[in-house]
Structure 1
């Protein structure tokens, strides 16, 4: 059980690395939490610090999901675990996303989880993730607001996982990631609803 806990905790801590905050602080001398939407993710980084830093932020945030999952898959393939493989990998993926969204390094003020979700869930739900990415791209003209497409991406991953009847632990993790993504975008949802009601 020790290895299980260490892996999941490590995934959370790797996911917690506040990429956008560190890069914008280093290269622009700005606390990104005080600018734009106040979010530390790549969308707000682009708004505050430009495309180059935003792309770096996006790449690192994806790696924050990839690295823990590669380690978890190695462990799952080479060690006897006290739980089902799908449970272990799903918990590891969810931990990375949770770390990104609620990083303890910034008093639990993190990102919205899109890039880290893609990086971690591509290993346990590859087709749902690809479907989510394609929808995010194809719906750009219909929904120019990134937040809307991000929510659609998260929900589509969970729905596709259910349609494909992936292992239940994977489906549960996809639903968890989608719910957290919606919660992290609730301010955007409230702003859109208030604009539509005017």
Structure 2
């Protein structure tokens, strides 16, 4: 029981390490929370810091999910604990204790967690994001559609033990994109690679 709680707590703390803020600080770039959309994520870093900073941010955020679930799987096979760790690392990214609970939207971190929990689903989700991003050039729209699709992919691949976790992630991810949804409806959302 103690180990299970520790794994979930560790996942949350790991998720609280913001890749965007760390990268921007090390590369002498402005705090992404003060730029553009104000979101400390790879897409916003791309707009104001360039491709290199955005790629490193993306990798760090994915890696958080990978490490959190990788460590959890090393100590337990309990599906409820693994799902708890996946949700915890995601929540850590959204509401990081180290950065006054002002975090990102969690797309990359959720993908990293799914990559270890259910790689088939993660690849299907990634393919959905890529297809929608190439088709419409809106990162937020691609992320929302990919998130909505994830519980369905869980069901169809038979990996149903993580459906509830993926459903909660999808709801939170949509909520975190509410300003993007408003901008999309108004035709004011920035496209991928578009600079302010």
TM-score over 0.5 for the pair: yes
2:141 corresponds, among 123, 129, 148, to: 148
The answer for the alignment partner of 2:64 in structure 1 is 64
Shift of 1:112: 0.8
Counterpart-to-counterpart distance in 2, 1:19 and 1:138: 25
RMSD over equivalenced CA pairs, Å: 1.4
Counterpart-to-counterpart distance in 2, 1:42 and 1:56: 8
1:127 corresponds, among 114, 117, 120, to: 120
Label 1:31 to 1:140 Cα distance change in 2 as closer, same or farther (>3 A): closer
Counterpart-to-counterpart distance in 2, 1:118 and 1:139: 16
Select between 4-13 and 124-133 the one with higher mean Cα deviation.
Answer: 124-133
1:88 corresponds, among 42, 59, 81, to: 81
- 1:178-189 to structure 2, matched below 5 A, reads 178-189=170-181
Deviations 1:143-178 (A, max 9, x none): 21110001111111111112334233x110111111
Shift of 1:104: 1.5
Counterpart-to-counterpart distance in 1, 2:35 and 2:117: 35
Instruction: Report the count of equivalent residues.
Output: 188
Alignment check: 8 A CA contact 2:69 2:117 kept: no
Counterpart-to-counterpart distance in 1, 2:123 and 2:11: 22
User: Which ranges of structure 2 fall in alignment gaps of 5 or more residues?
Assistant: 189-196
The answer for the alignment partner of 1:112 in structure 2 is 105
Alignment check: 8 A CA contact 2:15 2:91 kept: yes
- TM norm structure 1: 0.90
- TM norm structure 2: 0.91
Shift of 1:118: 0.8
- 1:19-34 to structure 2, matched below 5 A, reads 19-34=19-34
Shift of 1:29: 4.2
Shift of 1:97: 0.6
The answer for the alignment partner of 2:90 in structure 1 is 97
Alignment check: 8 A CA contact 1:28 1:49 kept: no
